[in-house]
Structure 1
Amino acid sequence: MFIGNLANWPQQRAVLPDAVNRALDALAQHDLHAMPAGRYEIDGDRLFFMIQEMLTQPFEAGKPEAHHRYADIQLLLSGEEGFGVAPADAALAVVDDRFDSRDIAFYAAPANEQRINLQPGDFVVFYPGELHRPGRCVAGSMPIRKVVVKIDRALLGL
């Protein structure tokens, strides 16, 4: 997992994989605030992004999730979004396995889950297997707008 902010990204490029920098470069070419919600391809199914609009939900209402094929970059455009985060844990019970159909599985809450909050411009990179519980309330439910980039693990050398 990596947490950053677009304002600091030029100084952080050196520590990020090429595929992550390629994705952030592609996002920089768009006016993300003006684009409608939906899916946008950068490199077919290997690298694409989705603009999402949603209401944040109470922390307890969501389950931690992880992906097998894709890494996520989650970039907050507006609002305030809380996340639960935890490292990959092969011993953690899967409660809803949708890896085959949607590259996602939902898990029981890990004992070592931490909470982070994103402000506009903040982003977090979750590598395959890393647990995250996105879309959570910070102070109360609010509308948010965000970008979720999907990076095929092969582009990361995994």
Structure 2
Amino acid sequence: MIHGRLADALAQPGQYPAVISRALALLATLDLAALPAGRHPLEGDVMFLLIQEPLTGEFESKRPEAHVQHADIQLLLAGEEVYGVALAEPGLQVLEDLRDRHDIAFFGVPQREARITLRPGEFLVFWPGELHRPCCAAGSPAPIRKAVVKIHRSLFETHR
């Protein structure tokens, strides 16, 4: 997992793997406030952007998730969002497995889970297999807006 600020990442190129730096640079070229919610291609099907406008909820109502084929860059654009983050735990119960169709599985509560609060302009990067619990409320449930870049794992192998 990486926690950073978009402005800092752009000011210090080369501090992240090349494909992460490239994705962050692509985000900086877009008018993210004007993009409608939904899916937007960045590099075809191997790197794309999701603009999401969810309502945050109680921490306990959200489920930890992980992906197999994609890394996530989750950049908060508006509001405040809390994440649960945890290392993968052998034997952690899979509550819902959608990895074959949607590259996501939802898990039971890990034994050791930290919380991170994002504010606008901050991002988190989750590698395939890393547990994260997004869309948790910092206080009362509230609307947020975020950009999620999905990066297929093949880009980490071919673009070094």
Number of aligned pairs?
A: 158
Unaligned ranges ≥5, structure 1: none
Matched residue, 1:98: 98
Structure 1 SS opposite 2:144: strand
Matched residue, 2:132: 132
d(CA) in 2 for partners of 1:6, 1:125: 12
d(CA) in 1 for partners of 2:12, 2:55: 30
Matched residue, 2:148: 148
Matched residue, 2:23: 23
Where do residues 39-50 of structure 1 align in structure 2 (5 Å cutoff)? 39-50=39-50
8 Å contact from structure 2 (residues 62, 133) kept in 1: yes
TM-score (norm 1): 0.96
Quick one: which amino acid aligns to residue 133 of structure 1? R
State the Cα distance separating 1:17 from its structure 2 match.
0.9
Identity of aligned residues (%): 51
Deviations 1:55-87 (A, max 9, x none): 101000011000000000000000000000011
- Higher mean C-alpha deviation, range 44-53 or range 14-23: 14-23
Quick one: which amino acid aligns to residue 8 of structure 1? D
d(CA) in 2 for partners of 1:153, 1:103: 12
d(CA) in 2 for partners of 1:79, 1:109: 25
1:66 aligns to 2:100 (yes or no): no
Q: Which runs of 4+ in 1 moved over 4 A?
A: none
Matched residue, 1:10: 10
Quick one: which amino acid aligns to residue 80 of structure 2? E
State the Cα distance separating 1:22 from its structure 2 match.
1.1
d(CA) in 2 for partners of 1:108, 1:3: 24
d(CA) in 2 for partners of 1:89, 1:143: 31
d(CA) in 2 for partners of 1:93, 1:12: 39
Higher strand share goes to which structure? 1
Deviations 1:2-37 (A, max 9, x none): 000012113553231111111111111111011111
TM-score (norm 2): 0.95
Quick one: which amino acid aligns to residue 10 of structure 1? L
